[in-house]
Amino acid sequence: MVDVHTIASFISLRYEYQYGSRIDEMKLHILLYFMQRECIVQTGNPLFEATFYAHTFGPYLPEVHAAYISNSLHDVLPSNIIAEYKTIFDSVFELLSAKKTRSLSNLIHGEGSWKRAMMQGEGTPMDVQDIKEDATRFRVRRFLLSNLEQFHKPVYV
């Protein structure tokens, strides 16, 4: 697993390089959640060991909040880690980084892990097992969508 501070730094630096501005904090937390989920989808394992907490607008990592506020997200991700997780980083970043934070928040509100934690109140830890269940549902959905053409072939009688 990779240190969450280093992953947050990677996202922050990549965002600033690509868009020319600092990523907003909520978007950073949400992209971290989706990278965690995507890593579970692709590898079966989490990308980093950190506990997300349910917040009104999405998941929240206290250690990332502290680093963001102190403007200390400048760690460089080693090239071997970038290579190992390239498909995860690229797919999440390319699909979601340009979206408005509010749209990303709406996506999070559909995640079972966030819903279950919020039922217990804001600030409740999000269980990694629940995130794994979200990843399993997403993996099945992705499989079905990728094979949709096959299921809709015309039947000639």
What integer pLDDT is reported at residue 88 of this predicted model?
A: 97
Query: What is the model's pLDDT at position 131?
Result: 96
pLDDT of residue 7: 98
Helices 25-43 and 62-69: crossing angle in degrees, nearest 10, is 140
Angle, alpha carbons 140-47-22 (nearest 5°): 105
Nearest CA-CA partner of 131 in 145, 149, 152, 117: 117
| HSE-up of residue 6 (Cα within 13 Å, Cβ side) | 12
Where b means 16+ CB within 10 Å and e means fewer, 43-56 reads eeebbbebebbbbe
Please give the structure tokens belonging to residue 155: 């039947």
Q: Which long-range contacts (CB under 8 A, 24 or more apart) does 98-105 make?
A: 98/19, 101/24, 101/26, 101/27, 101/30, 101/57, 104/26, 104/27, 104/30, 104/31, 104/58, 105/26, 105/30, 105/57, 105/58
Any idea where the domains of the chain sit in the sequence?
A: 4-151
Instruction: Give CA–CA dist 78/111, Å, rounded.
Output: 31
| Per-residue pLDDT at 97 | 97
What confidence score (pLDDT) does residue 144 get?
72
**Hey, how many other C-beta atoms are within 10 angstroms of the C-beta on 40?**
22
Instruction: pLDDT tens for the chain, 157 residues: list them.
Output: 899 999 999 999 999 999 999 999 999 999 999 999 999 999 999 999 999 999 999 999 999 999 999 999 999 999 999 999 999 999 999 999 999 999 999 999 999 999 999 999 999 999 999 999 999 888 777 777 777 666 666 555 5
Instruction: Write down the pLDDT at residue 140.
Output: 78
pTM (global) more than 0.75? yes
